[in-house]
Amino acid sequence: MLIKLANSFFLIIIIYKLIFMIKTLILIFLLSNISFANDITGKVISIADGDTLTILTSDKKQVKIRLAHIDAPEKKQDFGEKSKQNLASLCFGKNAIAKNQSKDRYKRLIAEVFCDGENANLQQVKSGLAWHYKAYSKSKIYANAELEAKKQNLGLWILKNPTPPWEFRKSKK
């Protein structure tokens, strides 16, 4: 009788542990899908500059997005227009997904944008048409992409001392 009671007790403990594990796995699954639910998808309808574009969603909402991890030359800077043109060739008129969004201090939407599956943010840096924005990004991928573009003298890196956009903006105030 005592052995049957002990076995029943252990069986109950095992059942409770299994229920807890199942609930935990369900919760993890649900939370992991939240980021997918927040992805913004649509067609790129506008390119403002080398690090800003607008996506038209399926429900006809226009969403302006600042590309995360990067800072492209301003329009009046060397390579400003080339950077914008490159982003347009990567994204304009194409299907896009904006992932990992956040908002900056100006309430702008910041995200990594994939146009037809290609990471436009990273491509801008790899092409030498944007800086890795180290003040707001610690990504080694973007840091390495910038170093490689510099080594190959791509885009703005053909200039002896290109002025980063954050310094250019400061000088214009």
Closest Cα to residue 51, out of 25, 27, 80? 80
| H/E segment holding residue 18 | helix 2-37
Q: How many domains, in total, are found in the chain?
A: 2
Is there a single domain that holds both residue 55 and residue 136?
A: yes
66 annotated active-site: yes
* Same-domain status, 52 and 70: yes
HSE-CB of 150 using CA atoms within 13 angstroms: 11
Tell me which residue range forms the domain holding 93: 40-171
- Residue by residue, pLDDT tens for the chain (173 residues) are 546 655 677 778 888 787 887 887 776 666 654 444 589 999 999 999 999 999 999 999 999 999 999 999 999 999 999 999 999 999 999 999 999 999 988 888 999 999 999 999 999 999 999 999 999 999 999 999 999 999 999 999 999 999 999 999 998 77
Of the residues 74, 112, 167, 169, which is catalytic?
74
The pTM of the full predicted model, rounded to 2 decimals, is: 0.78
**Cα–Cα distance, 124 to 102 (Å, whole number):** 20
Catalytic-role residue among 81, 105, 108, 169: 108
Q: Are residues 16 and 87 in the same domain?
A: no
Say yes or no: 32 and 54 in one domain: no
169 tagged catalytic: no
Dihedral of CA atoms 68, 169, 63, 112 in degrees, nearest 10, equals -10
| Residues 142 and 61 grouped into a single domain | yes
Q: Catalytic: 108? A: yes
When computed from its CA atoms, the radius of gyration of the chain, rounded to whole angstroms, is 24
CATH of residue 69: 2.40.50.90
